[in-house]
Amino acid sequence: MEDLRRWLPILVIQAYVLCLHVWIARSVARVWATTCLIGASAWMILVPWFVMTHDGMRLPSDAISWMMALSLFWVVVASSIAIRLLQKLDSAQFSPNRRQFLKRAFPAAAAAPLVAVGAGFVLARRIDVVQKDIVFPGLPKDLDGLRIAQLTDLHFGAFFGARDVERAVNLANDWNPHLTVLTGDLITRYGDDLEGCLRILAKLRAESGIYGCHGNHERYARCEESAVRLAARHGIRLLRQANETLKFGEARLNLTGFDYQPLGKEYLRGAESFTVPGAFNLLLQHNPDVLPRAARAGFDLTLAGHTHGGQINLDVAGTPYNIAAIYTPFTRGLYHYNGSALYVSSGLGTVALPVRLGAPPEVSLLRLCAA
């Protein structure tokens, strides 16, 4: 069931483009067009399924990323072709004098998807620095002003490489944080260069250390245990259903990490046993949907990622629309629930199509503040 949910957006996209392909082929009624569309449809369908069923094979990771991106690029191409075809059909049915505006509008509309993808490809590597003060009534004096840097969803690979990670590390270090956390999805699939990513992340600097938790892609890549060992070699502690209490003056911060919690499962089983009375309880969890459960367990703050801020986020009349909202109401930014807070970072990398629109990659710089 989890695998089905993981691939549901791509299955929906495939169905949409297949319908467009059938309509285009019928409208053009040319053998060459039908042949090309059959080939494009086969590529679009087979590549994602090949990736889904062959994650365990030793295939070139960057090549797989490019294959997936190009297969989904047909969403844009098919949409542009459909718009141009509509122009021709419209011109054949109506007099040109009544369609002067549409003659100019159709080419622009057909080009818009291609322009948007091109812009999104560039914007996907322009990292924002997001600073956020999070207020907690009754916060211990020695935690007031505590600085936490958060990096998440790097998806280190073909579209977010060494230079990108180095820049993110430098931006986090410039904040001079007391604590730096990684909240999952360092890589995307089996065969990605996890050790290379951790080698760069070893350059992170924080007064009280570098901690993290696993995301869903560490699970898919079956590298959860090896990631803990590799991270430890580089001075990074990944917490798996474990906690560690840090002291800041007279105050205590209890830091807990849980592996990715799959949607539809019982979240954070036994979490109450990891909270510490009298301490500020901070949870690292990849899936932001756990907020209500984290609040009941006694966590004051949860740091999460997973959603990529929607990755492609369309704002209509002030309301954001994105695929992540299908799975959780907590898609980006700061949320409060029954006295508990959640910050969801947009993260850094991308999955499938290497594009970001309306959800720039971010290094999150968080400061705890007393009311």
| Same domain, yes or no: 159 and 110 | no
Query: What total number of domains does the chain contain?
Result: 2
pLDDT at 5 over 90: no
| Same domain, yes or no: 228 and 270 | yes
| Same domain, yes or no: 161 and 296 | yes
| Same domain, yes or no: 81 and 115 | yes
Range(s) of the domain holding residue 142: 128-370
Between 116 and 33, the more confident residue is: 116
Write the pLDDT tens digit of every residue in 340-371: 999 999 999 999 889 999 999 999 999 999 98
Write the pLDDT tens digit of every residue in 305-336: 999 999 988 877 767 788 888 889 999 999 99
Give the pTM: 0.85
pLDDT at 282 over 70: yes
| Same domain, yes or no: 88 and 179 | no
| Same domain, yes or no: 68 and 215 | no
Mean pLDDT, the chain, whole residue set? 85
pLDDT at 31 over 70: no
Among 123, 144, 173, the domain-final residue is 123
Give the count of alpha carbons within 13 A of 257, CB side only. 18
| Same domain, yes or no: 158 and 239 | yes
Mean pLDDT in residue range 206-212: 97
Can you give the pLDDT at residue 257? Answer: 98
Predicted confidence band at 284 (pLDDT cuts at 50, 70, 90)? very high
Can you give the pLDDT at residue 171? Answer: 98
109 touches 344 (CB < 8 A)? no
Classify the phi-psi angles of 221: left when phi > 0, otherwise alpha if psi is within -120 to 50, otherwise beta.
Answer: alpha
| Same domain, yes or no: 68 and 186 | no
pLDDT at 123 over 60: yes
| Same domain, yes or no: 147 and 80 | no
Between 14 and 230, the more confident residue is: 230
139 touches 170 (CB < 8 A)? no
Among 70, 94, 123, the domain-final residue is 123
CATH number at residue 355: 3.60.21.10
Write the pLDDT tens digit of every residue in 51-100: 666 555 566 777 778 877 777 777 777 666 666 666 665 555 555 554 55
| Same domain, yes or no: 322 and 197 | yes
| Same domain, yes or no: 41 and 105 | yes
Write the pLDDT tens digit of every residue in 130-182: 999 999 999 999 999 999 999 999 999 989 999 999 999 999 999 999 999 99
Can you give the pLDDT at residue 172? Answer: 98
Between 117 and 114, the more confident residue is: 117
Dihedral Cα 361, 224, 45, 6, nearest 10 deg:
-70
